[in-house]
A and B are shown apart, each in its own frame.
Chain A
Amino acid sequence: MLGYIVRRLALMLITLFGISVIIFVLLRIVPGNIVDILFDAAGFVDPSDKANLERELGLDQSIVVQYLHWIGGLLHGDLGYSYVSEKPALDEILPRIPITARLAGLALMFSAAIGIPLGVLSALKQGSRLDYILRAVSLSGLSLPSFWLGLLILMASVSMFGTMPIYTPNPQSFGQAVAIYCVPAMAVGFRSAALVMRITRSSMLEVLRQDYIRTARAKGASETTVNFRHALKNGMLPIITVLGIEAAFLVGGLIVTETVFNIPGIARFLVEAIRWRDYPIVQNLVMFCALIVVLANFTVDMLYAVFDPRIRYND
């Protein structure tokens, strides 16, 4: 097991290195850089001013030198400076991580808390009216774009309560503090919950047909024990896989929700940084997201062994 973990960690490092090269090269292949954008607003570029700024930002150096400079800094905890704000990239990125983490965590909790029980219920009541209703709800959850759902929520909120739960750094009350995270989390979590529900339902249906479930029933186990201890536990692997993928997606993929609810998280910040070609911010944020994705995958792999004791990672 230890050997497996070490191999996985090594693989993670290689993956992260690969990603760092890809993002670095891709960013520089895309036409236009921060200097072009800064001067674009002014409508013209004085070539000497442009050259000075490129020199100041280190953009006149070769791509290899720029890469080594970035990676060298990264290894020492120096993420460089944002080209736009001229502040340390770390200071720009760090305050945004807890905001997105809270939102993503709540969305994930919402999707698990709603998706798993309803999926189980749908499987247990297969073919019933309730099953059809739940399947219709899950289908709508997958079909509704989250920006549309977010806007609907905001409009309904303004129309019904005369206020709306958009982000504020200093909430006036506990209720507002809860609302500014929970409402967007529900908006984005609705789609994830629908996905989890469908996966849970199909996984449960498959497990419920297994011989050991019949054996458990024959041995006189209660329905609750059969459904949750035997069936759900064994049907958890695909659910964990989906939750892992969703967790990774939610870290960097909340751009629409963050935009609609005006949440200053990392996804919106990343898109803005790409628009400005703010390389230090983009590179470091992408690396952060990549790190979360590989860690989520690693965690999922470890959880497989917890939920299915038959799975053992040999050294």
Chain B
Amino acid sequence: MNLFDKLKHIDRRIIFVLIALSVLIPILIPIRLKIHVSQPVQSLYDEVDRLPPGSNILMAFDYGPSTMPEVHPMALALLRHAFSKDLKVIAVALWPEGASLAQDVFGVVAEDEFHKAYGVDYVNLGFKAGGIVVIQALGTSISAIFPTDHTGTPLETLPIMEKVANLDDIGLIVDLSAGDPGIRHWVMIAQARYQKKVGGGCTAVSAPAFYPYLQTGQLVGLLGGLVGAAEYETLVKHPDSATAGMSSQALSHAVIILFILIGNITYFIERRRAKK
């Protein structure tokens, strides 16, 4: 059996081990790679940066624990940027677990890092079932669809909500999404119907589906997957878990590309042999 035959019949478990090593080694021995910021990420950063201090930004937490490694770092980076600009953050969730994930992010960034006051600088309105219908209702009246925040406190008692009636009072909407309901629905209602600026952060799997929205201007910017989060961390000058994961990502991709090349080369060699 020559080398090509051996490569053709390689045990899949060897590939699993190599992938595991390519992910684990950079975590154990961190290698800092240069991160280039792509245009969609830069556009979203610029849009947040342009908002005057005191503006309201609505962040939708439409993801769950299964996609946390990709989307959670985006939420952390975006919140750091928003609070550094003294923006007011209103969180909503169209996914049930989104409300508690928002609370987790606020705990880290708003409370521990920026010492912001709940109800004054930020608020978590919690989860509401209904997807697209909820977004539609937010355009008319936020308090009608969210009469209380996630703890049951009436909105009229929260200072941050005093001058916020509906989406007209929101400077920018950023949806962090891992599926439906998510970015598509915010674009369909908030952008198309209410002409609001909508930005997004999503899992890498769904990113290609949203690029047409960028080209049309329906999305002002997009963070696609862990790399999008790492780029935003670079822009806010606060490297975190996404930046740390980039070396693992790069090395594992190199291993996968290598095996794709090996697979194709052995395929073509075998085909040539068969022709002979």
Asked if chains A and B come from one complex, the reply is no
B residues near A, CB below 8 A? none
